[in-house]
Chain A
Amino acid sequence: MDTKDTGDRHPFEKIADEFVLQLRSGHTPSIDHYAEKHPEHASMIRSVFPSLQIVERVSAKDATASLASTEPAQSQRAEGQHGYLPAHSHFDDFKILRWIGHGGMGVVYEAIQESLHRKVALKVIHAQAAASQQSKDRFRREAQSAAGLHHTNIVPVYGSGQDHGLLYYAMQLIHGSTLAQIIESLQRRSKGVLQSQLPIDQQTHDALDQLLQERTIGSSAEPKASTSYVKENLGEDSDRTLASATRELTIGHHNEPTRGGSWTTKQESHTPEPTSAQQPGAKLPKHYFRNISRLVSHVASALDYAHQSGVLHRDIKPSNLLLDDSGTIWVADFGLARREDLDGQTQTGELLGTLRYMAPEQFAGKSDPRSDIYSLGLTLFELLTLRPAMDSPKRRLLDPTLYSQVEFTSYEKQTIPVDLQTIVLKAAAIEPEKRYPRAKLLQEDLERFLDDQPILARRETWIESGIRWARRNRAIATLAASLFGLLFAIAILLGLWNAQQSKTLEELRQANAFSAKTLHERTEALGRAEIEAKRAKQNMDLALEAFDTITQNISSRGRSLEILELDNENVDSIGFADAVLTQADVQLLNSLQDFFDRFAQENSADLRLDAAIARRRVGEIEHKIGRHDQATNSLSNAIKEFASIRANKDNLGDLKKVLNEELKARKELIGLHARRDQVPKAQEEMQKLRELLKEHPEFADSPEGRLALASALSSLCSGGARLALERSLNERRRRNFPPFFNRPAGNPIDLAPPMVLRIQRDLSYNTEAIELLEKLCQEDPSQSQYRLDLARNHRDRMRLSRLLGNQADFETSLSKATEIFQQLLEKNPKSPVLKYDLANLYASSLMVPSDDGKRLELAIGLMREVIEEHPSVPEYQALYASLLARVAWSMPFAQEASTERQFERVENGIAKFQQAISIQQGLVDRFPDIPLYGINLLQIKVQLVEFTSQFRRPEKAKQYLAEATALAEKMLESGAARQPVVRSILERLKDRKTALENRPDPEKP
């Protein structure tokens, strides 16, 4: 073969090939030598070979790296632990004949049981090497109980055992196809693929034939025991058929059978002619429905038998149901559902296959006979519709109860027998108590359907009435329903929910469910539209309220991190909005946005205010996920809508509420502009807000009005402060100031004059906000909210003063903010938020390492308390880590100056850094998709480099530099977010590296 190839090759390519092979074999061939040897190619050799050398070096570098990393895996394989190779020819009494297939749990071989001389299917469970003996024992116990099942439709299990450290079990070999394969073939068929062009295996073809024929299948109940057959086609691997089928499909479209020749080129595919319905896209024939009803009723009977014997299947799905040649359906893998304790590794794709059919309660680790009934319901659904009941199995992880509802499309509703639809809906009801209590009842209902008797399952009346109701109030009904699912999904994802919050949410949910139920009952009883609308409105209010809680939670997360960013000087220009949102958050917020979008479009008169509020929320969400233009748009629209509601004089009773909501929208818009550095726009909006208040002097004088004004002012100035800080930091970095500690206020950073002006203006807004809030506090000292806002404004002021170098103002603000936070803390000594706020205030007030040690200590103390009580809240840990880093910096600055002590202190500093790094690393591990954490980690590592090089530990500095560089490069390579930030850090690291290398021989301590 290869000899063929030596003839007509380009001479230079052959020379290059020789050169490259020499390189690969570890030699260092001389380019000159090659050039001399091949004078006719000398110039090309000289110009091209150096590059080839580089390319080969790069390529080999990866190769060796990978080789090292795969070695253990290979030795594992050699021991046969992965089991995909029949590494052992025998398992106890069973001799492996050949490989048949592989399923979710293991590999299946055709084997012969030598003592009994019978052929069996032997399933060798893979990857259980790490499983505990306990779970292995449990597996065996369950396999044994499954072996005790004797039913016409259950694949007999002959036994199980353990050999070569691997678990296996033996079962009867079934000659047939899985329902998954059949469904796939039917899908293709209904997609218009001509049967003749598909390489379906013969068994599937036969099975298909049976199903589509008008004869009754599966009606013979004769046991097939001793004469049963070989070959079980396990489900998961039907990909191949599908894969090649699709390719065939493409070819098939080009070669119409009529055009001749193409028939003969398709030798490899069978040319099955399954009876009737040959037309592409033909509807499923009526007897198909009857045939599958019969099959499923047999499965139900098998399930009921097993359930009565105390065995659950746990993994009913089409690929575990086998249809043999005689039309008998078999349930395989009883009680052997994929078990996490046995199989620690999650294998790509396979878990999803199972997720798809799992009952919602199984996600919570509960299962009972009704869970099997649910899975069977989904299987029936799939057989009826030829599409999976759950299209996104992964979403089910978010909220199984939400994403477990089966729904027929309107086309399916027309074409599938109504009784079968009803049976599916009952079997696959989300709540176990609404399903068939026993598989037997499902079986009987299917039999009634087959006998054309009325089935017992009834759609619950409130559903029916609910549907009628929903038709009239479609928007509200569907929105209210989907909202609650989203709320829960968010709650789960946030993972920050304390018990109280989730309790509130649960109460809300129950209230909603209750009111929905009463609503439906009433609807049926009275059928009066007004009541429905009123209830719906109430539901909507509840929903909005819950939504508020959720967004507040997200925003508070955002806020705290945002503050942290403000304080963390080394965080480069991390964008405001999305830094704290995980991918999942963004996805959920997007769905919420859709929700409110649709809601906002629903412009019915009495819901107008809600719609406008919803519009505002859309804007807030868009702001959060960084869609600034859309956010501006939504907020402006919301403001317009509020204005037009105000213009309508009929709603005077609500005026205060409308104004309040409108001001929130305006405040958000101001903050948005300010943070985007669009100061003129922000000021313009501020002006409008003031005018609005002027138009409504009464409201403007009310506490709400003043609070609204104050919070608008503070969002106007905090955006500016943030930007100013960011710029000054960049400046400072350029000048190589020691990192982390803030400059003494007496020595202001050189700010560009426009920036100084801006900060001064921000200060004036801040002054105004503080005045308003102080007044409010005086009037009503009991309102903690006023005081909290006031303290936060003082903190902003402290930061602004620091930027301007106004030491006196800085100290005043610091002490005022401290005082208020401390007072609030006295009243609420347990509040983690207050402790966090105070610690954060201390952290951002640090100036000189030697002077501010006390506040640092206090901050550390506070954070320790907080973390002790709330160990898992990421913000708290992040702040703690950053405080530790500051402690590290303060270490070398203690008073005594003896060299010995100095050495020790630097070592202590390094230890603190390492502690901070490990905390931050934990956050990165937990929240890999929050870019901020990764960057914080990198920043702390960079600081450690700076620290060690500043305090003369060049060797360590080099080591940490290499680590930090590796991390930064890894982040770049993995395509992590915030590439520009990482790149600029990397650039700094390079500078630092040059500096380290060029440093004249440093003193050794």
Chain B
Amino acid sequence: MTDKSPWPVSHETGTEEPLSIRNLEQLTVFFESVRPRLEKIVRFRMDPAFQARIDPGDVLQEAYLQILKRHTELLDTPELHPMVWIRQRVLQTLWDLQRGHGRDKRSVHREHAMPLAGSDTTSMTMARWLADDVTSPSQRMLKDEQQQRLQMALESMHEIDREILAMRHFEYLSNLQTAQALGISPTAASNRYVRAAVRLAEIMQDPSSKEPQ
């Protein structure tokens, strides 16, 4: 554990994040303030196949341009948390880059409907990250095997629950932000988070015995 965390401590109470953004300047300041978090999100969401080729910094740069162009969208919907909106732009940019890589940038089929959150990657990445860490002597199995099991277990969870876990713990979104990003009510997000956390704890305590249902 690091001594000093680079992350906003109290996102839920909202003192460090502006609750509403009224102009482009505020948006820019906000974007810069959450840049490390966005980079983390990009790294988490990036298809591993692209990790060597796409730099998170470039994704953010590209996303920033999109944000500048579309910022009125945000100003017009004050009820949406800016973090949620920016995150969407960033992820959209990331997907566009991943799709466009090796293909024509201006393909007509560029924009697909926004998937839930690239969820096939979610369980894989989560499993990979977790498997990297869990190497206690009692679990001396091969890391990749472990990763596979974790991944299978994660895949057995409800898609939304899994996304909630990912957003809360790997993207550092608050409950409200998570709810908005998924388009569900904060209450539902909160309840689902509890369900998912319990399930996760089961998986992590004994990854070998939990086969996907």
Q: Which residues of A contact B (CB under 8 A)?
A: 1-6, 8-10, 12-14, 16-17, 20-21, 23-26, 28, 44, 47-48, 50-52, 54-64, 66-67, 70, 73-74, 82, 84-85, 99, 102, 180, 184, 187-188, 191, 236-240, 242-244, 246-247, 250, 347-350, 352-353, 356, 388, 391-394, 969, 972-975, 979, 983, 986-987
Contact A23 B1 (CB under 8 A): yes
Q: A9's closest neighbor in chain B, by CB?
A: B190
Q: Which residues of B contact A (CB under 8 A)?
A: 1-7, 9-14, 19-20, 28, 35-36, 39-40, 43-44, 48-49, 51-52, 54, 56-58, 61-62, 64-66, 68-70, 79, 81, 92, 96-97, 100-102, 104-106, 108-111, 113, 128-130, 132-134, 142-144, 165, 168-170, 172, 174-176, 179, 185-187, 190-191, 193-194, 197-198, 200-201, 204-205
Contact A987 B105 (CB under 8 A): no
Q: A71's closest neighbor in chain B, by CB?
A: B36
Q: Point out the residues of chain A lying under 8 angstroms from B190, CB to CB.
A: 8-10, 13-14
Q: Point out the residues of chain A lying under 8 angstroms from B70, CB to CB.
A: 240
Contact with B205, one of A14, A51, A969, A974 (Cβ below 8 angstroms): A51
Docked complex Cα distance between A16 and B12 (Å): 12
Known contacts A5-B186, A8-B186, A348-B100: does B6 contact A74 (CB below 8 Å)? no
Docked complex Cα distance between A392 and B104 (Å): 7
Q: B7's closest neighbor in chain A, by CB?
A: A24
Contact A66 B113 (CB under 8 A): no
Q: Point out the residues of chain B lying under 8 angstroms from A2, CB to CB.
A: 12-14, 19, 174, 176
Contact B105 A13 (CB under 8 A): no
Docked complex Cα distance between A8 and B194 (Å): 13
Contact A5 B179 (CB under 8 A): yes
B78 to chain A minimum Cβ distance, whole angstroms, is 9
Contact A28 B35 (CB under 8 A): no
Contact with A24, one of B3, B5, B100, B198 (Cβ below 8 angstroms): B5
Contact with B7, one of A17, A63, A82, A250 (Cβ below 8 angstroms): A63
Q: A387's closest neighbor in chain B, by CB?
A: B108
Docked complex Cα distance between A59 and B40 (Å): 9
A974 to chain B minimum Cβ distance, whole angstroms, is 6
Q: A64's closest neighbor in chain B, by CB?
A: B2
Contact A47 B198 (CB under 8 A): yes
B54 to chain A minimum Cβ distance, whole angstroms, is 7
Known contacts A20-B169, A59-B129, A74-B35: does B19 contact A51 (CB below 8 Å)? no
Q: Point out the residues of chain B lying under 8 angstroms from A4, CB to CB.
A: 176, 186
Contact B65 A102 (CB under 8 A): yes
Q: Point out the residues of chain B lying under 8 angstroms from A52, CB to CB.
A: 169, 197, 201
B183 to chain A minimum Cβ distance, whole angstroms, is 15
Q: Point out the residues of chain A lying under 8 angstroms from B48, CB to CB.
A: 973-975
Contact A59 B2 (CB under 8 A): no
B84 to chain A minimum Cβ distance, whole angstroms, is 11
Contact with A26, one of B1, B81, B133, B168 (Cβ below 8 angstroms): B1
17 contacts between A and B (CB under 8 A): A1-B79, A2-B176, A4-B186, A8-B190, A20-B169, A21-B9, A26-B1, A51-B204, A54-B204, A55-B165, A58-B132, A60-B1, A60-B5, A242-B110, A243-B111, A246-B108, A353-B105
Docked complex Cα distance between A1 and B179 (Å): 13
Q: Point out the residues of chain A lying under 8 angstroms from B109, CB to CB.
A: 246
Given A2-B174, A59-B129, A63-B36, 20 other A-B residues pairs in contact with their CB atoms under 8 A: A2-B176, A10-B193, A13-B193, A24-B5, A50-B201, A59-B170, A66-B39, A70-B57, A84-B65, A102-B65, A238-B106, A240-B69, A242-B108, A246-B109, A247-B113, A348-B100, A348-B105, A356-B104, A974-B52, A986-B143
Docked complex Cα distance between A353 and B106 (Å): 8
Contact A16 B5 (CB under 8 A): no
Contact A10 B194 (CB under 8 A): yes
Contact A73 B194 (CB under 8 A): no
Q: B185's closest neighbor in chain A, by CB?
A: A8
Known contacts A9-B190, A13-B190, A237-B69: does B169 contact A59 (CB below 8 Å)? yes
Contact with A388, one of B35, B51, B104, B129 (Cβ below 8 angstroms): B104
Which residue, of A3, A59, A246, has the highest number of chain B Cβ atoms within 10 A?
A: A59
Which residue, of B44, B172, B194, has the highest number of chain A Cβ atoms within 10 A?
A: B194
Q: A74's closest neighbor in chain B, by CB?
A: B35
Contact B113 A16 (CB under 8 A): no
Docked complex Cα distance between A90 and B58 (Å): 26
Contact A13 B175 (CB under 8 A): yes
Docked complex Cα distance between A356 and B105 (Å): 11
Q: B79's closest neighbor in chain A, by CB?
A: A1
Which secondary structure characterizes the binding site on chain B? helix
Q: Point out the residues of chain A lying under 8 angstroms from B110, CB to CB.
A: 239, 242-243, 246
Docked complex Cα distance between A975 and B92 (Å): 24
Q: Point out the residues of chain A lying under 8 angstroms from B143, CB to CB.
A: 986
Q: B203's closest neighbor in chain A, by CB?
A: A51
Q: Point out the residues of chain B lying under 8 angstroms from A28, CB to CB.
A: 1
Q: Point out the residues of chain A lying under 8 angstroms from B28, CB to CB.
A: 85
Docked complex Cα distance between A303 and B37 (Å): 49
Q: Point out the residues of chain B lying under 8 angstroms from A74, CB to CB.
A: 35
Q: B164's closest neighbor in chain A, by CB?
A: A13
Contact B2 A187 (CB under 8 A): no
Docked complex Cα distance between A347 and B198 (Å): 44
Known contacts A24-B9, A63-B6: does B39 contact A348 (CB below 8 Å)? no
B127 to chain A minimum Cβ distance, whole angstroms, is 11
A550 to chain B minimum Cβ distance, whole angstroms, is 25
Docked complex Cα distance between A84 and B205 (Å): 47
Docked complex Cα distance between A252 and B139 (Å): 53
Q: A987's closest neighbor in chain B, by CB?
A: B142
Contact with B40, one of A3, A63, A244, A350 (Cβ below 8 angstroms): A63
Q: Point out the residues of chain B lying under 8 angstroms from A236, CB to CB.
A: 105
Contact A348 B111 (CB under 8 A): no
A346 to chain B minimum Cβ distance, whole angstroms, is 10
Docked complex Cα distance between A62 and B46 (Å): 13
Contact B102 A66 (CB under 8 A): no
Q: Point out the residues of chain B lying under 8 angstroms from A25, CB to CB.
A: 5, 9
Q: Point out the residues of chain A lying under 8 angstroms from B129, CB to CB.
A: 58-59, 62
Contact A26 B3 (CB under 8 A): yes
Q: A246's closest neighbor in chain B, by CB?
A: B111
Q: A191's closest neighbor in chain B, by CB?
A: B108
Contact with A56, one of B6, B52, B102, B169 (Cβ below 8 angstroms): B169
Contact B36 A54 (CB under 8 A): no
Contact B142 A983 (CB under 8 A): yes
Q: B76's closest neighbor in chain A, by CB?
A: A268
Q: B187's closest neighbor in chain A, by CB?
A: A8
Contact B12 A62 (CB under 8 A): no
Q: Which 10 pairs, one residue from A and one from B, show the smallest C-beta to C-beta distance? A: A349-B105, A5-B176, A9-B190, A8-B187, A51-B201, A2-B14, A243-B111, A10-B190, A48-B201, A51-B204
Docked complex Cα distance between A972 and B142 (Å): 12
Q: Point out the residues of chain A lying under 8 angstroms from B191, CB to CB.
A: 10, 13
Contact with B175, one of A9, A23, A44, A47 (Cβ below 8 angstroms): A9
B185 to chain A minimum Cβ distance, whole angstroms, is 8
B94 to chain A minimum Cβ distance, whole angstroms, is 11
Docked complex Cα distance between A99 and B68 (Å): 9
Docked complex Cα distance between A52 and B201 (Å): 8
Contact with B12, one of A21, A184, A237, A247 (Cβ below 8 angstroms): A21
Q: A242's closest neighbor in chain B, by CB?
A: B110
Contact with A242, one of B69, B106, B175, B179 (Cβ below 8 angstroms): B106
Contact A67 B6 (CB under 8 A): yes
Docked complex Cα distance between A184 and B107 (Å): 10
Q: Point out the residues of chain B lying under 8 angstroms from A972, CB to CB.
A: 144
Docked complex Cα distance between A50 and B203 (Å): 12
Q: B17's closest neighbor in chain A, by CB?
A: A2
A772 to chain B minimum Cβ distance, whole angstroms, is 48
Docked complex Cα distance between A244 and B198 (Å): 39
A209 to chain B minimum Cβ distance, whole angstroms, is 22
Docked complex Cα distance between A12 and B174 (Å): 15
Docked complex Cα distance between A1000 and B101 (Å): 53
Q: A244's closest neighbor in chain B, by CB?
A: B111
Docked complex Cα distance between A28 and B5 (Å): 12
Q: Point out the residues of chain B lying under 8 angstroms from A8, CB to CB.
A: 185-187, 190
Contact A349 B14 (CB under 8 A): no
